[in-house]
Amino acid sequence: MIKCVKCGSELREGSLFCTYCGEKTESRPDSSQFIGQVEKADAQADGLDGLFAQIRAYVKSETDKQQKVLSEKEERIRTLELELKEKEALIAQLNGKLKDLENAAPVAPDKRECPKCGNALSDDMVFCNQCGTKVR
């Protein structure tokens, strides 16, 4: 027995109109069409579920890759920070040594010597007393 799609009343086979509400029966698709559409929609939903599962797997894979890259970069930053601290400590140590050298007693100037023969010269000499080269 066929049911009216509008009011749900049972109709006789071959009825073109509902005897209770007057709805034309041939204007509405029969239930077999609805079942086919539901089955088709279910198949599409299954296909979409599979597609969504693939998308989720891809996104997870890419997220995992990015997390790994991020972890590697964070580790590199920590390594560079340690190296920087070591170099800053070395610079501070060298600056301390430099200040110590600057504050130390002045070193006596080297004795003058002749550029030609290397003879030791006194401050008042104008010419080398060994080779005669002018030194002033």
Mean pLDDT check: name the lowest of 2-6, 99-103, 108-112: 108-112
| pLDDT above 70 for 128 | yes
Q: Is 134 helix (H, G, I), strand (E, B) or coil?
A: strand
Residue 129 to residue 121: CA distance in whole angstroms = 8
* Domain membership flag for residue 127: no
Residue with tokens 């080297």: 110
Specify burial of residue 25 (Cβ count, 10 A radius: 0-12, 13-18, 19+): middle
Q: For residues 135 and 125, is the Cβ–Cβ distance under 8 A?
A: yes
What pLDDT sits at residue 136? 85
| Average pLDDT of the residues of the chain | 86
Contacts 24+ apart (CB under 8 A), 43-49: none
Number of independent structural domains in the chain: 1
CA angle 113-119-121, nearest 5°? 50
* Domain membership flag for residue 52: yes
Domain limits for position 57: 31-101
- Average pLDDT of the residues in 31-58: 78
Mean pLDDT check: name the lowest of 51-55, 83-87, 110-114: 110-114
The amino acid at residue 119 is: N
- Average pLDDT of the residues in 98-119: 82
DSSP letter, residue 23: -
Kindly report, residue by residue over 62-90, the tens digit of the pLDDT: 999 999 999 999 999 999 999 999 999 99
| pLDDT above 70 for 34 | no
Q: What are 11's strand-pairing partners?
A: 2
